[in-house]
Structure 1
Amino acid sequence: MLGVSDLVKIYPTGEEALKGVTMDIEGDEIVSIIGPSGAGKSTLIRCVNRLTEPTEGSIVLDGQEITDLSKNELRNARRDMGMIFQEFNLVERLTVMENVLSGRLGYMSSWRAFRRNFDEEDIRHAYEVLDRVGMAGHEDDRADELSGGQRQRVGIARAIIQRPKILLVDEPTSSLDPETSRKVMDLLTEIAKDEGIPVLINIHEVHLATEFADRIIGLREGEIVFEGPATELDEDARDHIYRGGESREALEKQRAAEREQRSDAEVTEVEKETSF
């Protein structure tokens, strides 16, 4: 469904955010991207739908090369890519229903979109999706009246109503408390599996990534340093992703040495206090 080959992103400042990333997503699998801050996770997600323009490389979605598309062609291609954002990206003054239906704007002419002249089928489907994400009865609420968890549910509904070929999800739980984060991830992955939609999700919480994803991609300094089933993400793999390849044994030795130094310092302080 999605093929990324030798993807490079260099910002005008000279920062190389992605250094030849290559990966594939197939079927209805859920793939989580993890890594330290600044690893290139969000850049990778945003390059796929060209919210950020890649410097080099190839992005192919369902047989279509994305990097060569014109502005109008890209608008059509983005209908196949449901995007769920970290900061929700809802229009605050619009209602829940209006925000959800905005997921159909890519299928409408500019005139119909301006007039918000949605098909009855789209409206019916929006009610169904809102019920599915637990937001039935909130259709007329303004977005700025919602909690963070409710906003993210609306964001999921907006993406699903596009009927996309893939879901691109950027930090969906970073603004949520732990309990709400788990509920959102459970809802997101359940709907994706039911609809048969593959998911590429950038997430900080490693425990949520391993619980809900089929496969893990570990990024560090713009490069893939781990790729495999979620069950294979052991402590050594996590250390390699987040600490630059230091082994678990080496880290334990370092921690032991630090504890010993602290103990020595404590003994010295005691000696000072008891000396006359």
Structure 2
Amino acid sequence: MLEVTNLRKVYPTGDEALTGVSTTIEGNEIVAMIGPSGAGKSTFIRCINRLTEPTEGEVTLDGTELTALDSGEMKTARRNVGMVFQEYNLVERLTVMENVLSGRLGYVSNWAALRRNFPQEDVEMAYDILETVGLGGMENKRADELSGGQRQRVGIARAVVQEPKILLADEPTSSLDPDTSHAVMELLTEIAAERNIPVLINIHEVHLAVEYADRILGLHEGELVFDGPTTDLDENAKDVIYRGKALAGESSSNYVEGSDTVTGETEPTDKSTITGD
């Protein structure tokens, strides 16, 4: 289970990217984080695995407080947090297999890692996962020979081979065509079910979030303003997330208590601004 408590991120410029976000993610649920550009979605995900250091707050994964670990301890703890990146983050000159096996670097010595000498069971696991993500037989191709969708599948395989307790995906479909985007979302859903791990996805395409996620987290200007099941993401909820104000007279139990952005009147929303397309 992932527990995030009062997470804040303030940059040296004074810009506050996160204003005290708290939430819990558990089981094998698919959680989609949506919101306008600059809302803090990527910052939130990167603070969880401390690729970005939070200013305040706690992040706890299965009882281990990640925010309290020193750099050496955090290196080990990152084995439990799989990460799928927007721009794939592959080493282009390496093969598919070498990129996938890089997900096992946290389990081998520095000398073995330098020599790319992985245990046979790790190699066999990588082969199995490549089959799972639809890349069986492509293990010897270089990463720079792959399409965008294939590269993202390599990134997913690399994250899964870590055997993580949670999978984070930072805009995994932003560089993909519609059909490939659906395929990637289906794959993430299958992995959550088969591995019994939660998946947190930062995504701009609201229609994909609605189709594949069990739950929606809505961020607006660094503040968590909506936390509820996908079925409750109506037009008024989108107004709260994307414009910061609920329509007059509207309320929902899914609006986060203490949020400053969900009261007051606003003009009717131009729906084209909140589709995420």
* Shared fold (TM-score, shorter chain, > 0.5): yes
Q: Which amino acid aligns with 1:229?
A: P
Distance apart, 1:192 and its partner CA: 1.5
Matched, 1:85 2:73: no
Aligned to 1:66: 66
Partner Cα separation in structure 1 for residue 239 and residue 70 of structure 2: 42
Structure 1 match to 2:46: 46
Identity between Structure 1 and Structure 2 (%): 68
Instruction: Please name the residue that 2:257 is paired with.
Output: none
> Whole-Å Cα distance in 2 between the matches of residues 228 and 251 of structure 1?
24
Deviation >3 Å, runs of 4+: 248-252
The aligned counterpart of 2:166 is 166
Distance 1:230 1:246 in 2: 18
Q: In structure 2, what residue type is equivalent to 1:51?
A: L
Separation of aligned partners in 1, 2:130 and 2:35: 32
Q: Is the partner of 2:103 in helix, strand or coil?
A: helix
Query: In structure 2, what is the equivalent of residue 262 of structure 1?
Result: none
1 CA distance for matches of 2:72 and 2:246?
A: 47
State the one-letter code of the partner of 2:65: E
Aligned residue number for residue 267 of structure 1: none
Residue 97 of structure 2 is aligned to residue 97 of structure 1? yes
**Partner SS, residue 163 of structure 1:** coil
Deviation at 1:246, TM superposition (A): 4.8
CA drift at 1:247: 2.1
> Following the alignment from structure 1 to structure 2, what is the Cα–Cα distance between the partners of residues 216 and 43?
17
Letter in structure 1 aligned against 2:9:
K
Letter in 1 for 2:199: V
1:37 aligns with 2:68: no
Q: Secondary structure at the match of 2:118?
A: coil
CA distance in 1, matches of 2:107, 2:235: 46
SS at match of 2:67: coil
Bigger fraction of residues in helix: 1
TM (norm. structure 1) is 0.90
Count of paired positions:
254
Q: Which amino acid aligns with 1:188?
A: L
User: What CA distance in whole angstroms lies between the structure 2 residues aligned with 1:165 and 1:182?
Assistant: 24
Q: What is the correspondence of 1:114-133 to structure 2 with a 5 Å cutoff?
A: 114-133=114-133
CA deviation vs aligned residue, 1:71-102 (integer Å, no higher than 9, x gap): 11001100000000000000000000000000
CA distance in 2, matches of 1:104, 1:153: 17
TM-score calculated relative to the size of structure 2: 0.89
Partner Cα separation in structure 2 for residue 217 and residue 14 of structure 1: 25
Q: Secondary structure at the match of 1:200?
A: strand
- The Cα RMSD (Å) is 1.3
1:18 maps to what in 2?
18
Between the aligned partners of 2:192 and 2:109, the Cα distance in structure 1 is: 28
- How far residue 205 of structure 1 moved from its aligned partner, in angstroms, is 0.5
1:138-189 CA-to-partner distances (Å, cap 9, x unmatched) read 1110001100000000011101111000001100000001111011100111
Residue 100 of structure 2 aligns to which amino acid in structure 1? V
Q: Which protein shows a greater Rg?
A: 1
3-state SS of the aligned residue for 2:242?
A: helix
Structure 2 residues without counterparts, runs of 5 or longer: 249-264, 271-277
